[in-house]
Homo-oligomer: A and B are copies of this chain.
């Protein structure tokens, strides 16, 4: 595995490569969720790039940019074990200059995650577009856990006619159901135990749908019963384009949850 830190190194490496390129952009602190993306990229492409870059433009003032978990050595080890060909680890001055061309995410970036984090998705799209420009991937892998992010990246690829194939990847969970997240390490033992209720409520919803219950209020009430001890920020029902649903459409619905544990926000969702 080659570790690249400069634009020049990345571009020189890319220029020498022929055949399909799989790309997994990350912010590091890799867990089994990331590993599943990397494994998929490895299985489906001739060459695999992973990037680790804690992107400052997607953090709002006062957010946890500096506190975001960094585990450089462990991350390198994981990438090596997953047979990554190139690991790109630039710093912020490598990725950004002054007074840049910016990306403006569409209006659906201002609901749900974007409602409490206005501008967050502008930064996400900006760094993803930059990384796509550099890596020129055939396939790029994103987890369904950040469903709104995935939807916006798919829309950007469509709007800008990018040649990359954006591949959605299933959520990876702990054995008790909790969705993998770099932020799970911040949970106390008690919070960690309570957090199981998030995924439980999603399984409850799925079970109801399988019994032909499509009414959103009914499903939402049952989910809230399961999460009665949690500080639930929102439960939302959207279609794959992130338009709000009036009732469940099987094959075109996503149920999203955000719950708070002190200052930690945990996201989870289920595609139905």
CB distance from A175 to the nearest CB of B (A): 38
Chain B residues contacting A105 (CB-CB under 8 Å) are: 101
Number of copies: 2
Q: Which residue of B lies closest to A155 (CB)?
A: B101
The reply to whether A101 and B104 form a contact with Cβ atoms under 8 Å apart is yes
Q: A144-171 CB contact bits vs B (8 Å, 1 = yes)? A: 0000000010011011111100000000
The reply to whether B162 and A133 form a contact with Cβ atoms under 8 Å apart is yes
Query: 12 A-B Cβ contacts within 8 A?
Result: A97-B158, A97-B159, A99-B108, A100-B106, A101-B103, A101-B105, A101-B125, A101-B159, A104-B104, A130-B159, A130-B160, A133-B163
Q: Which residues of A contact B (CB under 8 A)?
A: 7, 11, 97, 99-108, 125, 129-130, 133-134, 136, 152, 155-156, 158-163
Contacts A101-B125, A130-B160, A133-B163 aside, 19 further interface pairs with beta carbons under 8 A come to: A11-B161, A97-B159, A99-B106, A99-B108, A100-B106, A100-B159, A101-B104, A101-B106, A101-B152, A101-B155, A101-B159, A101-B160, A102-B103, A102-B104, A102-B106, A103-B104, A130-B159, A130-B161, A133-B162
